[in-house]
A and B are shown apart, each in its own frame.
Chain A
Amino acid sequence: MKETLLLTKHMRENPENSHLIDVYEKNNGYSAARKVFKENNPGDVIEEIKTSNIRGRGGAGFPTGVKWGFLAEDEERYLVINADESEPGTFKDRILLERDPHQLIEGIIVTSFASNISKAFIYIRGEYAKPARRVQDAVEQAYEKGYLGKNIFDSGKDLDVVVHLGAGAYICGEETALLNSLEGRRGEPRLKPPYFPAVKGLYNKPTLVNNVETISSVPWIINNSGKDYAKLGVEGSTGTRIFSLSGHVNNPGNFEIEMGCSFGEVIDNFGNGIKENKSVKAYIPGGASAPWFTGEQLDIKMTIDDVANAGSMLGSGAVVVMDEDTNLVLAAKSIVSFFAHESCGQCTPCREGTGWLYKILSNIVSGRGSTNDLEQLDRIASQIEGHCICALGDAAAMPVRSFLNNFWQEFEYYVDNKESMVK
């Protein structure tokens, strides 16, 4: 089993200077941008993306071509790149920003051309100081070359790209909260409807919001074809995907693979197995928001639909592996503390619910819990689910219910004996 390198090919072949515009161009860079301007048919570009069947890489997995397709008509339209990668376990956008920023910029140029957009924003989380510097440098290089700015590629079209830094809020990864933050408002998700920023987004104008990995895939699709892309992976989950593997594996890291192999294969092949040859007790298939799987479920296939059918989600593609000696009560507390900290406080069920989940789990960890508390956790989780404006509440509730369902025994042992099953 091998990696299939589309997005990470350039950075692998030119490890020391893949971030420079000259090196990128020498390796066929900006050829997709030149191609679309030469052919000058935006409809074809959107068609090509639709054919590729690529689905958004941010977490929700919405088909990108469809999203581009219903961008409303208006004089002013915007493109926003969501680089607010904060899902625990995920570090795939970081490598794309740090080591191949021009691929992203080329993707932005092609996307803007296809949708007739003349202003794009890259919203990077504030903690990513180094990636932000790299992207800013790359944007400046592109301006100098005339690939951004006025009359780009002598096409008569203008495109400005603004790099914007967030201020450390997970919720600003939610697209409408991101738009609010970009407008200078508080980073709180907007009420729906309108359901899609493609209708009413930034400054109430039609806006495309796409993930870094999604837009970085665009140049490859244009250089080759949507059909070639759709041949990779499996139906419903086409193309490659960068999985972030972390936790108790021997060789953590980002691996670009075609979707469709099983989690167990990836952990053995790319992760080199579990540290000290232990066995897997639990793993998270798609970032902290995703319900946990047990060590017996390692043969689940890594596709958006297979994971969803098994009761979890592929989310951002972050696989966190926990070995047999992991104290799951502490791991659960870490997850819940994350959501309690990151809830924006707009909806009561999420603001109060995540807070109580954290307080109760802290109580259990310190040895003051009871079985009643475990039932209470489940009740609170069920009352958060589906009762909030955005998905953060659900993202906090779903993992709680999954680790209670799958590992009830371990939690019960902890409250009865006031210590963990594992030493």
Chain B
Amino acid sequence: MYKQEPSGKYLLSVCKSISCEINNSREVIDNIKEFTGLANNETDIESTFTFEEVECIGACGGAPAVQVNYETVEGVTPPKALELCKYLKEEVPEVIVADDLQDKFGGIKSFDWAIEDNSGTSSTAPGFQIIGTSEEK
């Protein structure tokens, strides 16, 4: 997660650990690489995409899994991965909402997400915004 250079607007992290690996994540990686023209850990000139191959992101039941700005999308087949990239490039959404991307491009899930969630992230470092308890706010 630590980056030595700024990421593009969308950080695409594709899992390559065991459950995803045996469920064809290599083809997902190839498709994204081909679409974006990026190798592992590269950012494009327009700063739209940063692509990285990552280790387990805890979505093994929904393999292969992809994260966009750390929002998890599960069950992303190789053709859906292409559509996901196209969507991000053409629609340029400001906020990434996991549920929304899951509906459009996802498939099998690790478990039923159940709770409707419209919160999302608008940055490539969602965890590192200020979070504190209500007392401190």
Provide the main secondary structure of the chain B interface: loop
Q: Contacts of A98 on B, CB cut-off 8 Å?
A: 113, 115
User: In A247-302, which residues have CB < 8 Å from any B CB?
Assistant: 247-248, 252-254, 284, 288
- Asked whether A136 lies within 8 Å of B61 as measured between CB atoms, the reply is no
Answer whether residue B4 sits at the interface, using C-beta atoms and an 8 A cutoff: no
Q: Does B90 contact A (CB under 8 A)?
A: no
B residues less than 8 Å from A165 (CB atoms): 127-128, 131
Contact string against A for B residues 101-137, beta-carbon threshold 8 Å, 1 for contact and 0 otherwise: 0000000101111111101010000111001011100
Residue of B2, B72, B133 near A130 (CB, 8 A) is B72
Flag whether A237 is at the interface (Cβ < 8 A).
no
- Give the residue of A16, A93, A149, A252 whose beta carbon is less than 8 angstroms from that of B62: A252
Q: Which residues of B contact A140 (CB under 8 A)?
A: 133-134
Judged by DSSP, the binding face of A is mixed
Is B16 in contact with chain A by the CB < 8 A criterion? Answer: yes
A15 and B112 within 8 A (CB): yes
Which of B17-25, B28-36, B42-50, B78-86 is found at the contact surface with chain A? Answer: B17-25
Complex interface bits, A140-184 against B, C-beta within 8 A gives 1, otherwise 0: 100110001100000000001111010111100000000000000
Residues of B within 8 A of A162 (CB): 133
Which residues from B are CB-within-8-Å of A396?
A: none
Residue among B2, B121, B127, B128 with the most chain A CB within 10 A?
Answer: B127
In the complex the two chains form, what is the Cα distance from A11 to B111 in whole Å? 12
B53 to chain A, nearest CB (A): 9
Q: Is B70 an interface residue (CB 8 A)?
A: yes
CB within 8 A of A288: which of B16, B17, B71, B133? B17
Number of interface residues of B (CB under 8 A): 44
B42 → chain A, closest Cβ, in Å?
17
Q: A127-B67, A252-B62, A338-B55 given as contacts; is B2 within 8 A of A95 (CB)?
A: no
Among A38-46, A48-56, A327-335, which stretch is in contact with chain B? A327-335
Given A86-B58, A168-B1, the answer on whether A163 and B131 have CB atoms closer than 8 Å is: yes
Q: How far is the CA of A163 from the CA of B112 in the complex (A)?
A: 24
Contacts of A168 in B (CB 8 A): 1-2
A88-B56 in contact (CB<8A): yes
CA distance A139 to B114 in the complex (A): 20
Shortest distance from the beta carbon of B136 to any chain A beta carbon, whole Å? 10
Q: Is there contact, CB below 8 Å, between B60 and A129?
A: no
Q: Is B57 positioned at the interface, with any CB of A under 8 Å from its CB?
A: yes
User: For residue A132, which residue of chain B has the nearest CB?
Assistant: B127
One of A94, A246, A253, A341 near B19 (C-beta < 8 A): A246
The stretch that binds B, out of A194-202, A307-315, A318-326, A344-352, is A318-326
Taken together as a complex, chains A and B put the C-alpha atoms of A94 and B59 apart, in Å, by 9
User: What is the CB-to-nearest-CB distance from B113 to chain A, in angstroms, rounded to a whole number?
Assistant: 7
With A86-B56, A89-B60, A253-B61 known to touch, is A337 a contact of B115 (CB < 8 Å)?
Answer: no
Interface residue B76 (Cβ < 8 Å from any Cβ of A): no
Q: Is A19 an interface residue (CB 8 A)?
A: yes
Tell whether B63 is near chain A: CB-to-CB under 8 Å: yes
| A412 CB within 8 Å of chain B | no
- Residue A18 at the B interface, CB < 8 A? yes
A90 to B18, CA, bound (A): 11
Identify A128's interface contact among B21, B22, B58, B61, CB under 8 A: B58
Determine whether A213 belongs to the interface, using a CB cutoff of 8 Å to chain B: no
Residue B66 at the chain A interface, CB threshold 8 Å? no
Tell whether B14 is near chain A: CB-to-CB under 8 Å.
no
Residues of B within 8 A of A (CB): 1-2, 13, 16-19, 21-23, 54-63, 67, 69-72, 98, 108, 110-117, 119, 121, 126-128, 131, 133-135
6 interchain residue pairs of minimum CB distance: A168-B1, A252-B61, A246-B60, A88-B56, A15-B114, A88-B17
Sample of 15 A–B contacts (CB below 8 Å)? A87-B56, A89-B18, A90-B58, A91-B59, A95-B110, A140-B134, A143-B134, A167-B2, A246-B19, A247-B22, A247-B60, A247-B63, A253-B61, A320-B60, A326-B22
Known pairs A91-B111, A126-B70 / 15 extra A-B pairs, C-beta < 8 Å: A16-B115, A18-B114, A19-B115, A87-B56, A90-B60, A91-B61, A129-B71, A140-B133, A144-B134, A168-B1, A246-B61, A247-B22, A252-B60, A253-B110, A334-B18
